[in-house]
Amino acid sequence: MSIEVSHVSYTYMPGTPLSRQALDDVSAVIPEGSVTAVAGHTGSGKSTFIQHLNGLLKPYTGKVFVDGTDLGDRSKKGKRALVQARRKVGMVFQYPEQQLFEETVAKDIAFGPRSLGLGESEIDERVKRAMDAVGLAYDEFADKPPFRLSGGQMRRVAIAGVLALEPAYLVLDEPTAGLDPRSREELLQQMMRLHRKQHTAIIFVSHHMDDILRLADTMLLFRDGKIAAKGAPREVFMQTELLKECGLRPPRIMELSSELCRAGYLSQMVYTEKELVDVLGRRLRDAR
């Protein structure tokens, strides 16, 4: 089971002077239960790409399959299948807190499950689970109006609204943009906890290379609507020339450790802070 993107191209406003090709023959496979990071400079096609994953945008050429269902099928049966497939792929847009609309937090989160046609008790259960997953205490927040909350809390409500659909794949477009460091870290941890516990596949767009390095098992690097590189972050980030061309810098931990390698303090690259501290600590102890 996987999301399969096969030779997808997409153009905005085709046939006008403002037409812009956002995706150019992009192919990728996102297996279930994986953590995939999507990186690239502004305007490289990241957001367009992820909107294809649940059929919000229809490719001009190429196909997208979610667990084998073709999202581009325009027949009646295909459209029903699209609705089914869309439920498997939860989509969290940039600044999702701007899409809240209900009077209370619980009602807003219940919007998704309710439109799935679930029973009240099941809806309640899901709201509780979703709020728990994003670390919002049900008793404290359920009846509060969402617009009274802080920015970080509103964002968590919005994400819970998507989680309540209990998707198999969760797509997040820059989920931590505009959050303070602590909320950022909490949100990422919640995201990873969801991945571990529910085995939800996470696909996230990020400008933080360090986050990508420590969280993702695969990354897709976009440039000018094409995938310039894909693979394990450690390997992709080693291609420093390519990164520079894409307007990105390697994670700080990798920059530091490659400097240390060059200066002879490290014999091989390290990829985590902990590892670096351990290795350097050992060296220091040995030197004494």
**For other proteins, which is the closer residue by CB, 11 or 258?**
11
Q: How far apart are CA 99 and CA 217, in angstroms?
A: 30
Q: How far apart are CA 250 and CA 233, in angstroms?
A: 10
Whether 51 contacts 8, CB under 8 Å: no
Site for other proteins (CB under 8 A): how many residues? 28
CB of 118 to other proteins, least distance (A): 10
**For other proteins, which is the closer residue by CB, 101 or 265?**
101
Residue 98 DSSP label = G
Decide: helix, strand or coil at residue 17. coil
Q: Can residue 88 be called a binding residue for other proteins (CB under 8 A)?
A: no
Q: Can residue 11 be called a binding residue for other proteins (CB under 8 A)?
A: no
Q: Taking CB under 8 A as the rule, which mask of x and - marks residues 15-54 in contact with other proteins?
A: xxxx--------------------------------x--x
In degrees and rounded to multiples of 5, residue 21 shows phi and psi of -80, 115
Choose the stretch contacting other proteins; rule: CB under 8 A; options: 98-106, 190-198, 199-207, 225-233.
Answer: 98-106
Whether 141 contacts 131, CB under 8 Å: yes
Using a 10 angstrom Cβ sphere, with 0-12 exposed, 13-18 middle and 19 or more buried, the burial of residue 161 is: buried
Strand order in the sheet with 226-231: 89-92, 169-173, 201-205, 35-40, 218-223, 226-231
Q: How far apart are CA 61 and CA 66, in angstroms?
A: 17
Q: Taking CB under 8 A as the rule, which mask of x and - marks residues 54-83 in contact with other proteins?
A: x-x---------------------------
Q: Can residue 265 be called a binding residue for other proteins (CB under 8 A)?
A: no
Q: Can residue 91 be called a binding residue for other proteins (CB under 8 A)?
A: yes
CB of 111 to other proteins, least distance (A): 6
Q: Check the CA dihedral 39-42-43-46 and report its sign.
A: positive
Whether 227 contacts 44, CB under 8 Å: no
CB of 168 to other proteins, least distance (A): 14
Q: Can residue 96 be called a binding residue for other proteins (CB under 8 A)?
A: yes
Among residue numbers 213 through 242, which ones bind other proteins (CB under 8 A)? none
Choose the stretch contacting other proteins; rule: CB under 8 A; options: 28-36, 89-97, 202-210, 262-270.
Answer: 89-97
Among residue numbers 130 through 189, which ones bind other proteins (CB under 8 A)? 147, 161-162, 165
Where do contacts with other proteins occur on this chain (CB under 8 A)? 12-13, 15-18, 51, 54, 56, 86-87, 89-91, 93, 96, 98-101, 111-112, 115-116, 147, 161-162, 165
